[in-house]
Structure formats: structure tokens, C-alpha cells
Structure 1
């Protein structure tokens, strides 16, 4: 029976010695094929700290073998242990784990002398990377924490299949399964539900395989295990048809409130089976310290090592601290103000800069986002307008030409938010901040643009079902949103209370810093006469409505400081703003806000100041 399989080898970490094993045809108690670790194989002297929790049965077996002297110190390989007699294990993973002292996917880590993984020799396994799954088990659904030990002692996971006919075998094709489900469930559930059942049954029977990670959510805790054998269809104690797979469960559950946010988002799906492969690396990192992860990452190779590095990087998501160089570039009055803005954005994830036109809202948003994200590649800018809609912003059906047939058809097309969220949520990107800048955010109908995403802005740890693609979607924790709002634009619908609750608001206005002294600081840095700053202050002092005061950016352009540039800018940029503000009021704009009037007022003010100073000097 054993001659049909070659001898398999296992490389111990850091260039250590090589262990030898033999796959058996018979199955262990967990439903997986047994494997023998051959005498003379080396073993690691220590275990990683999370090993007793993650793989309790393999840890118990290793400890038993140590006590019996089957695994003991050796002179063959100084610094390593040795297996002195053959050890029969319930699965290839258990055989690898007692040697490595950590959790391991034996189907991939045991290899032939020419490098082929053991998975290539099994019907229900393949050499591709292992996957992760969340299953709602009907045998434990509704049980509280007191029943946890009871269900975990079963060493299995089940999926309800009440009406599925007997004899549906593992490996069944999706087309065959669709025909069976349509017939068996025709009078019981709607067509859309039958399509979902086909996906779930097919994944459980044909896509899952030994070595995959499986999760259950019960009693406020997430329980994680490893699938150890093939699927089978059985009848439960109450007479229902169920699908079942053997599993080795971790000894302890992981509290929901301590889970990474990406995992919390996926636990609220209403489906009985959910593919969690996109966040498998986060599952693998539960219970492990950063030091342990780094140690395992050094030992792992290929995709496994990259996944562990991704977990380490995910834990390192943070904003860089603003520096003096950035403060000077932005002409901000204090570094503390910049730090406070960054803290607000980190805590709230969404922030709006608001104020009159010309106060540098968009410029500040872009520069700050590029600094925090590490470059322009992590920043996307969109501008809202009255006709902007959900289909433009997130996703919708749009006419697209097929490049092969040149026929035009409506296809589901992602918008800027969906595109950026997909990039930010990739495994290798989760430690990098990404920023969506929404310019003129109050110019659109926000409820129409955001749709069901309104909910996610406040509840980042949840997911919602999308309108068009019918998928579960959540905003990645490393996606931040910065909006700008022009307070002078009152012809557009105001931001409602619900949106205000979802954003932090930072004022950029000529009446407060950093905007009030921005032009003067810029002029001094450019070694220019500060008269434009004095004129702007005098202008804004004459504007009663603070939302219509003029920002300094109008006077921070090179053209202003060419011959006649200040007069041109004042006549063509600033006075038209005020004409619109006073439309129909009969105000003489030039007489009240023109350069000649403002300069005259500055002369009077300076004379008064000089007189006052002279008076104080004679006292």
C-alpha cells in the first residue's frame, strides 16, 4: 500500500537538516491520510509560543513523544533533536508540526526529492496555496459560550444541506451540482437562493481541501481550525442531511473586539459559507506576537513567507509624524496644528476642510495626503457636482465596447471609490495609507452619491450588501477620506446632520490660523513686500459675512507680482466675487473694496498708529 507513494522530505528552518516521511494509504481518526515520520529524522528543539493554542493535538503528541524518549537530544545534529523510531501521525500536517514545533501545512511542506509537494499525490488536494473559510455550522448555531467545549471536541465542521439528496460525492462539478440543487430545492427556495446554495455546496465539497483554514463565530469569539480530511454527506441526529469535514480546532477562541478590523467586517455576512482567503494571513497571525511572526517569516519561503510579512506590515499601519519641513512647505503657523489634524484624520478616518474660496483647502488636502501616504500614487481626487451619482462614485452599469467584437454592452464598472478600496484592501497594501480627496463635497446630493455606503462611513467595522454587484463590501481600515467644502456656495444643498456626524470638520478661514497669517508668512518667505497681506486684511475687515471673506491663495501666484499683476488680479478675481455677494443690494463695489479705497484706509490706519505711538513716547 505504501509503495504507491515516494518518500517525502521536510527541510528544517535556517538551513537545518532534512527529515524523512512516508505517506500511508489508510486514514487517521480525523479523516486524513496518515503519515509516518521515519526514524532518524531531526526535530526542532523548541516550539513557538502559539503552538499549544493553535495546534493542541500536535503539541500534545510532541510532548508525549518527548516524555517517552521517542524524540530526544542527539549527537547526530548538534543543537537539534532526533526521532529515534518511526512515528505514525494522523495527517501530513501533524507529522510536519511535531518536527517544526509550529503550525504547518503538511500538504505543501513535505516534498519529494525533486521538489513536488505531497498535495500533488492526493485526489482532494492540490499544490496551490491553502484557502480560508467561514462556516455557519447548523449543529452549533445559537449555542452560547458554555457549549463551546462540547462542539469543539467533535473535531469537525458541518454545513446544512437539508434537502440535498444522498450520495452527492466530493469533487462534484458545479454544473452537476446546479442541476441537483434546482431539482431538490425547487419548491423550497427562490432562484437566487438556489444559486447561492450551489456556490456554498460546491465550495464545501470540491474547493475546500485538507490544510485549509476554517473559522466559526460563536459566543462572541472566533474559533479557528485546520481542515484535516475530505468531505462526506451524513445524516444528523435529528434526521437532517448535512455535509461534514474533519477539523483540528485551536484550543482557544479569539475575542471579537480584539480581531483585526478586516476580519470583523467579514463576520457579519448572512451566508452560511464565506471565502476568507483574502484575509487568511490575518487569521494565521492570531495568537502570535510580532516577534514570533518575524521568526516564522524568516523560516518560511515563497507565498507563506510573504503572507506572514504582510501580517507584520498590517500591524504597522500608522501615519508618519508631521515634520518642520512640511510645516514650512504648507506655511502653517504651528507644527502642533498639523499634528492635531493628522490625529483627527487617524481617529475619524474622514475629515473635511471647510471655509471661503481661496483658503487653500484642496492644496492642503493633497499635500497632506501625499505626505501621510508616502506619495501621489496613494492619493485619488474626485470633484463632486450636482449631477454626480452613486454610479459615478462607486459602481454602476455603463456602456462599454468589447475589444474583440467591438459590440457595445452595459457592463458593471467600478468608480473611483471602489477602485481605490480594492487597491487598498490587497494583502500587500494594507499597511499603506490610501486617501480619497473629494473636492467640493457639498456640491452633490450626498445621500444619492453615497447610497448604502453612508452606513460604512460611521460603522467601519461592518460590511453592507452592494446594490449592483450583490457583494458584501467594507471600507478598508487604511482608506481615509478628505473632503473640501466651500462655505460661500450656498446655492447647493447643505451637508446634513448625518454627514456631519461622520466627518471631523477643520476650519480654514481668513479669521483663524493657519489661514489668517498665511499670506504674510508666504510673502516673507518669498522676500516680497507684505503690502498684499495688509490689503487682504483690510478687505476682509470690511466683509461682514465670514463665509464670503477672501482667502490668500488668490494672491499667492506668480502673475500677481508681475507689473500691474496685483491690480489685474483684484479687478478680475476678487471684485467679481464680492459683486456676486452683494448682487441687488446697490453697493458700490469699487468704492468699498477697490485697491484705491483700501490703500487709503491703510494710510489713515498707519497715521493713527504712528500718532498713538508718539503719544505713548511723550508720556
Structure 2
């Protein structure tokens, strides 16, 4: 059987011997081009553990060939097996799998003597790395085509019931746009036609043999490999008239057990979705770390899918709280910090609330830097009454073109999208990133968060954005710490939706770690306890706990030099209380002034039992 293609080679792991084979023009049972492994090719003697379960057909073929003597111990390469006759397989991947004893992408594994992959020689193939796709088929005009058609017959399809016949693989998007506008003008809306053009162009012109394809059915994710070109056929109701052959794995992976970042991508509601950004998570399904590491080592670093899978599995962790951290932050016990850390890990979002001067912002920033590994992973934003969604996430803003100097409105990222993009980058997903929102209750939260409110609670989902139209999800490694000044607005006024999405942790002069913070600071800095006694007496006279004064006002070196304490009391603390009692006719100086407080403390000391 002659072939118009060159001879292809496949080197066995660890710089082993080289197998040879030929791509055939004849089609296999599912429409992919057959591949002939040449007689005398070396065969790896062992199989990886996942091979029998995930690639049952290739495993059965390999076992059958060994039983029939077509694969036997090699006399040429000690320690290897070898083929005794030419073996014709249904696809290049199947040919590679019987030689390697593991799942393999034959379109990249088989190469010419000068290193060009087999995929480069296929009709209408496009250059570049293989990609990973999601194609939906569980509800096509009410039918689950995955179970009825795709898995049993080894294919993936796309409905194009009004698209004219003869549309060729590799058609450009411009050509396709013209065809869809003409063929679907009276059938679909403009928006629906736009989505259809994207799906058809991907299926016809971007997908290629060797790409990974995924689909969801009955709560499971199924994974396969595209093995051939597009075929346009007649089908009942036009439900599956565009088809590609696929070698599906023999197992489904429960959706709820998938990594969160993969679930986010799978929740995008399009018929065809590019999953390449999470291809490592797909490549690693059903395979152990040891198996992936071995395959990367075997390929001498060229096994990009397996390497991506290992990188995607790098564990996201928040460091544990330590005694040293508690000592640095002057927190009374490390258990309080550990509880805060655990709340962050479980809920991803917390709010530190309390009166002014309790160290909320300082603590939020310092903990974010500690848990994130440095200031590079932390972004601070301060809310105010005029703050909006466009400021916070994305919106149109005037920007000058550096070349023409013309000013135009362009979509610009806000701080949340910037830190989310950084957290979602390949190689960053195991590193915690933090957004610190200072004075979070001073803005109209429903207006600022918009559709992102949903994502704060449902981290495994994605939403369509208002301005850019992109599908967006909050990365699993993005944490949010908000601060709330209760003197500005009581926590009781925060709406139920906000309370449900955040854990709330109080910082109050009534309770630790704030209550004893000033005394611990004074002791560390070598100052006497007078200012701590004065603050305790002051707060005992303030009836509303939301307006008690925090220790931060007095935790500055200048306060403890010369008349610094009197100056801080006069310029920072008394004006705060003047505002609190405005219109009540209270003599703030008489009630809260240093002379009054010192007299009370002196009297208490005099009357204290000996």
C-alpha cells in the first residue's frame, strides 16, 4: 500500500531505539487516517498504570498483538520488545500507544527524520501547538448526543442545519461570516449569528488532529483526541451534520471532583470553548504525579502537556501563622492569627471591622504580604461614595494614542481585574494573591461589584462581563480582605448578600488582640504604661463601642516625646469625639480631656486596696 507521506519515526523513552511507521490515506473506522507501524520496530515492554483504564482499545490491541506473537521479545534491542510484522492501526496515536504503553498524541510524537511532526503533513492543518477544546453535546435539540452518538461512534459534532453544503475545512472567518449572514438571516438574531460564526470557525478551521476535546454528559467530563478532518454529512434535524473523528478515553471524570479553575472554564455557556489555558488540568486527569513526572523525564522535557499538568498541580497554600508573626504584629496569641488564616482559606473573603485606629488597614496589608509571599502579590484599593464598577473592574476611559495623540474611549482594566489577571497567569496559580479593599462600606457595594457579586459566592462559575463581553471567573488563588470603619456605618447596616459572602472579624478596644495592643507596644518600645491607662479610661467613658478609640493614634514615636501625648490628644482624639457628640451639648474637654482622665486614674489608684 503506497503512501504519499514520508516515513515517520518515534524514539522510545530515555533516548531508546527508534520505531518507524507510515501514515496511510485509508480511513479508519471512525474516519481518522490509518497508520502502519513497520515490522522490526522496538516496543516498550512496560505500561503506565493508567493505560489499561483510560485507553482500553489500545491496551487490548497491544495485548492481542503480544498474544498472537506480532509483538515479542527483541533480539536486536535487549530489554525491549519488537514488532514482527507491519501493524496497521486506526490512527497515528494508536500506533504510538501500542509502542509506548501509555496515552500518546501520535500527531506530535511521530516525526520525520528532520524533526517535523506528522500534523504538519495533514490537509488543512495549521502550524502551532495543539490546543484543548470543550464542545457541548449533552443537549442538542433535546438529545444527549454524547451518549447516543459521540462516545459509541468515536466522533464529535456541531449542529449547522441551515449551513449550505460544500463548506470546506479551513474556511476563513470572513468567508464564514458571509455564509452565515446569508443562510441564517431569518433564523437567528445578530448576536446568535455572531456566536455561531465563532463556533463554526473554531470547529472547521482552528481544530486539528492531535487537539484534545472535552465534553460533559450525565455529570461527567469526557476527554478525547481529535484524529481527523471535518466531514459534512446529512443528519436527522441537522443536529450533527459537521463531524470530526475522536478517540475518546474510556472513563468519565466526575464534574464536582475537577479542579476549580477547570470548572470555571467549563461553566462558560458557549457551544465551543477554548480550554487551552487549563490544558494542564485536563492532561493530568486520571494520571498520578509519579506517572506524569516519569513521562516528562522520558521525553527529556519535550512532553509539554504532562509538564503543564504537573505545574497545574502545584498546590495552593496559605502559610500557617507562627509565633514570630504574632510577636511582630503584637497579637496576644498565635491562635487568633491562625483562625483568621483558616477563615481566609475556607471563604476566600474576610472583612476586618471596628472603630477608628484599631489597625485594620495595617493588619490587612501585613497579613496579605505574609500569606502572599511579598508585596508583589498585593493590591490596595480604597472605596469612597463615588467609586463605581468602572473604577473597580473595567470600563471605558479616555486614553491618548501615543502615535496620533488622538484621545478615544477604550476599555480599561480596574484594580480587581488587574490582580485577577496576574493571579490567573500560568505559573502563578499556586501563589496566593490579595486584593485589600480599605473602607469597603463607604461605597455602594451592589453598584461597585455588579455581576461580580455572584462570583464572590460561586467561585467555581464564570459570568459574562458587562463591557468587554469576556467570560470571567475569580481565580481560586485570589483572596479579598476588606476593612470597615464602624464609626462610619454600623455593621448591622451591611446588606445580607454582603454578609453572606464575607467572614467578619472584629477589631475592638473591648477585645483582644486590640485591647492589649498598646500596652504590648509600649513594653516593646520601652515606654511606661501611662498612655495605655489613659486610653482605657477614655474608652470606659464612651458608651457606643463603635466610637471607642483605637490604640493606633498613640503608637507613634512622636507621641512619647516632649508634649507629644498632649498634642495627639488635642489634635486627633478630642476632634473625633467632638464629631461624635455634635449637637448634644457635651463638654468634650471636661469629659475626655487628659486632666479629667488623669484625675480619675489617680483617684482609682488612691482608693485601690493595699
Describe how 1:10-409 pairs up with structure 2 within 5 A.
10-137=10-137, 142=142, 148=147, 151-238=150-237, 242-300=241-299, 301-302=301-302, 303-313=304-314, 316-409=315-408
What secondary structure is seen at the aligned counterpart in 2 of 1:60?
helix
Cα distance change of structure 1 residues 203 and 450 upon mapping to structure 2, 3 Å threshold: same
Cα distance change of structure 1 residues 78 and 517 upon mapping to structure 2, 3 Å threshold: farther
Does 1:490 pair with 2:516? no
Bigger mean CA offset, 243-252 vs 1-10:
1-10
Question: With structure 2 as the length reference, what TM-score do the two structures score?
Answer: 0.95
Q: CA deviation at 1:510?
A: 0.6
Give the whole-Å Cα distance in 2 for the aligned partners of 1:492 and 1:544: 17
Equivalent residue number for residue 449 of structure 1: 448
Give the whole-Å Cα distance in 1 for the aligned partners of 2:311 and 2:71: 34
Give the whole-Å Cα distance in 2 for the aligned partners of 1:346 and 1:491: 26
Give the whole-Å Cα distance in 2 for the aligned partners of 1:69 and 1:254: 35
Cα distance change of structure 1 residues 539 and 2 upon mapping to structure 2, 3 Å threshold: farther
**5+ residue gaps, structure 1:** 615-619
Cα distance change of structure 1 residues 575 and 226 upon mapping to structure 2, 3 Å threshold: same
Q: Deviations over 1:119-159 (max 9, x none)?
A: 222223344221111112278665579x8376411101111
Q: Deviations over 1:364-405 (max 9, x none)?
A: 111111111111111111110000000111111111112222
Equivalent residue number for residue 431 of structure 1: 430
Q: CA deviation at 1:284?
A: 1.0
Cα distance change of structure 1 residues 576 and 377 upon mapping to structure 2, 3 Å threshold: same
Q: CA deviation at 1:559?
A: 1.7
The answer as to whether partners of 1:40 and 1:85 remain within 8 angstroms in 2 is yes
The answer as to whether partners of 1:42 and 1:82 remain within 8 angstroms in 2 is yes
**5+ residue gaps, structure 2:** none
What secondary structure is seen at the aligned counterpart in 1 of 2:45?
coil
Describe how 1:568-583 pairs up with structure 2 within 5 A.
568-583=567-582
Give the whole-Å Cα distance in 1 for the aligned partners of 2:273 and 2:111: 30
Give the whole-Å Cα distance in 1 for the aligned partners of 2:384 and 2:492: 11
Q: What's the Cα RMSD here?
A: 2.1
Question: With structure 1 as the length reference, what TM-score do the two structures score?
Answer: 0.94
Cα distance change of structure 1 residues 168 and 560 upon mapping to structure 2, 3 Å threshold: same
Give the whole-Å Cα distance in 1 for the aligned partners of 2:239 and 2:582: 77
Give the whole-Å Cα distance in 1 for the aligned partners of 2:604 and 2:221: 71
Cα distance change of structure 1 residues 139 and 590 upon mapping to structure 2, 3 Å threshold: closer
Give the whole-Å Cα distance in 1 for the aligned partners of 2:240 and 2:428: 42
Q: Deviations over 1:276-304 (max 9, x none)?
A: 11111111111122332332333342433
Bigger mean CA offset, 475-484 vs 100-109:
100-109
What secondary structure is seen at the aligned counterpart in 2 of 1:279?
helix
The answer as to whether partners of 2:157 and 2:240 remain within 8 angstroms in 1 is no
The answer as to whether partners of 1:36 and 1:88 remain within 8 angstroms in 2 is yes
The answer as to whether partners of 1:97 and 1:103 remain within 8 angstroms in 2 is yes
Q: CA deviation at 1:534?
A: 1.5
What secondary structure is seen at the aligned counterpart in 1 of 2:511?
coil
Query: How many pairs does the alignment contain?
Result: 608
Q: CA deviation at 1:30?
A: 2.8
Give the whole-Å Cα distance in 1 for the aligned partners of 2:199 and 2:178: 14
Cα distance change of structure 1 residues 103 and 506 upon mapping to structure 2, 3 Å threshold: same
